[in-house]
Structure 1
Amino acid sequence: MEALFYVVPVLIIVVVLCGAVAVIRRARATSRAWSSGLTAEARCLRTYTTTSGGGETRVTTRLNHVYEFATREGRAVRFEERGGSGTVLEGDIVTVYYTADHPERATAEAPARGKLMLGTGVALVFFGAFIAFCIGFMVVTHEAAPAADNFMTP
């Protein structure tokens, strides 16, 4: 039973680390797309929303866009972007930023390096605090376990 107080926090830490890696990868992909210097005019093919939550939890709605553009080589690329601008509607033409090696990782977000760094930093601080809480929980549980064992033995 005592192992449960170590296994669960370690599993939570692993999941949080996976989330941190995903945030860093997405930020790096966006930054590379902005830095590549490759842009194209893309047409918004579709907009839709996804919702989550409900019941006892808050309902959140996220706007998504599907874009299509042609690379400089003439290759047609279609990609989906989560959390896009609410002012872009189906049929609108927007500028997208992409890299030559992975045009499917394009973004329609206008370059905003400070905003990207701030958002990534806040997410990583949150993940770090969560990991610190889990480690603290394990340390406190470990330190309290011998005292409880001594208290229970006659």
Structure 2
Amino acid sequence: MIENIQFDEGPMRDVFFLALPGLLAAGGIAGMVAAVVRMRRLSAVWRSGVTAEGVCVSAYVVTTSHGHGHGHGGGPSHSTWHHVYEFTTPEGEVLRFEEAGGPRTVVGGDRVVVRYPEGRPDRATAIPPGKRNENLLATGCLLAFLTVFVLAALSFIGFYLTVLRPGANAVEDRIKDTVRHVRESPQPGPTGGFPTGFPSGLPTGPPDGWPSDMPPPPPLP
């Protein structure tokens, strides 16, 4: 039973405790890059983008809840306005795009000004330049949250590498040493000093000095 014990859980443990936090950290970094790129694109469009007249096709609100509350309202929530816009380029191409974070006052049927980089109508936006400060603030809050998120994931990885994994390896080494000691110890059995046959040297007659002229037993009735 002891000879069949194997200790190969180290790689699997590393995958669980390193891969998952690593993926979370990578996702957080990707979100930070995407937020910065979006903000840079908006700034470029506001400065020198091509303008076109567009129309809001529809508008709706997406509410995201964080955590679980005990009341009817649940945990903290955040609402974001989403708009679907349609516009026509100077070349006569009709395009439609969806955008989050637009003005709450814009509803379906409203006329808007659409801006996009030269030659890239697929990067169009209907967010007006007057929302620059609001977008900067929202982007800053998002970057701060993602920074804390990434640091937490990386801190857990560092804690695992410096504390948890060495402790687990020490425990596994101690168990391996114990199992090795048990395997190398002599085991009781036929070769461990126990008799293997019928004992010899047993007496085969009366002991020395035993009287030989004992009277005969009385007759049976």
Whole-angstrom distance in 2 between the partners of 1:136 and 1:49: 36
* Residues 51 and 92 (structure 1), Cα distance of their counterparts in 2 relative to 1, 3 Å cut: same
**TM-score, scaled relative to structure 1:** 0.80
Contact 1:30 1:106 in 2 (8 A): no
Deviation at 1:93, TM superposition (A): 1.0
Partner of 2:135: 116
* Residues 90 and 24 (structure 1), Cα distance of their counterparts in 2 relative to 1, 3 Å cut: same
Contact 2:44 2:117 in 1 (8 A): yes
Q: How many residues in Structure 1 have an aligned counterpart in Structure 2?
A: 154
* Residues 30 and 93 (structure 1), Cα distance of their counterparts in 2 relative to 1, 3 Å cut: same
* Residues 83 and 131 (structure 1), Cα distance of their counterparts in 2 relative to 1, 3 Å cut: same
Are 1:139 and 2:158 counterparts? Answer: yes
Contact 2:49 2:118 in 1 (8 A): no
> Which SS does the other structure have where 1:2 is aligned?
helix
Contact 2:25 2:153 in 1 (8 A): yes
Are 1:98 and 2:116 counterparts? Answer: yes
> Which SS does the other structure have where 2:62 is aligned?
strand
Deviation at 1:10, TM superposition (A): 0.8
The aligned runs of 1:1-154 (5 Å cut-off) are 1-3=12-14, 4-53=16-65, 56=68, 58=75, 60-111=78-129, 112-144=131-163, 145-147=165-167, 149-150=169-170, 153=174
Contact 2:56 2:84 in 1 (8 A): yes
> Which SS does the other structure have where 1:101 is aligned?
coil
* Residues 62 and 122 (structure 1), Cα distance of their counterparts in 2 relative to 1, 3 Å cut: closer
> Which SS does the other structure have where 2:13 is aligned?
coil
Q: Which has the higher contact order (CA 8 A, sep 6+)?
A: 1
**TM-score, scaled relative to structure 2:** 0.59
Q: Which has the higher strand share?
A: 1
Give RMSD over aligned pairs: 2.7
Identity across the alignment (%): 37
Tell me, which stretches of 5 or more residues in structure 2 are unaligned? Answer: 1-11, 69-73, 179-221
* Residues 54 and 22 (structure 1), Cα distance of their counterparts in 2 relative to 1, 3 Å cut: closer
Report which of the two structures shows the higher radius of gyration computed on alpha carbons. Answer: 2
Deviation at 1:119, TM superposition (A): 2.9
